[in-house]
Amino acid sequence: MVLLVGSAVAGTAGDIESYARKISSLVDPAKLATLGERGANSRVEKYVAILAEAKARGVAPKKVAAKAVVFVGMKGKAAVLTSQAMVRNLVIAERLGCLDSEGLQEMHRGEAPTVRRGPYRGEKLSVDHVIPRAVVPELDNVIANLELMPLKMNEGKNAKIGSRQVDLARKLHKAGLLSSEGLRVVERKRK
């Protein structure tokens, strides 16, 4: 019986592939590049809901995210950074209590759920650009640069660049997700 439970937690290859296919069109860099300003924001909400659904059914979100980026042709560091961001957003949504049935319904529609836990309880969840789009617009719809946070916290962040943003910019540049000029802009703006 323990072996059955253990295998259910990992999910089957078919389960992983099924969820990954649902997510792949939401995180496809070619499709994201055609979207307008903040066009990927609703896609973040949607893929988090799908990862939450997979997790609830015993399918490992890390495996689903990793497979989804492979389906869209991402490789190497770009794939790793993107899949890590996807799983991080699932964890954030869980910690903020956004994955109840109402929140999941909203997220499946690409809408912001309400934060149900913590000091920002009652606020809407929003999609933040870790490296602000005002600083480097080319990262507007890059999944590895998008992170969930309560709206009030996001609004208070503004276009600040600190060590976290510089570190991420360097990683995104090495992964081919940020141009050399974009990296220079971030490094110059550091406070």
Instruction: Please state the length of the chain.
Output: 191
Q: Are 88 and 147 in contact (CB under 8 A)?
A: yes
| Calculated CA dihedral for residues 93, 99, 103, 108, nearest 10 degrees | 90
pLDDT in tens, 30-46: 999 999 888 899 999 99
- With vertex at residue 20, the alpha carbon angle to CA 14 and CA 101, rounded to the nearest 5 degrees, is 100
Residue 9: pLDDT above 70?
Answer: no
pLDDT in tens, 36-84: 888 899 999 999 999 999 999 999 999 999 999 999 999 999 999 999 9
| pTM score of the predicted model | 0.90
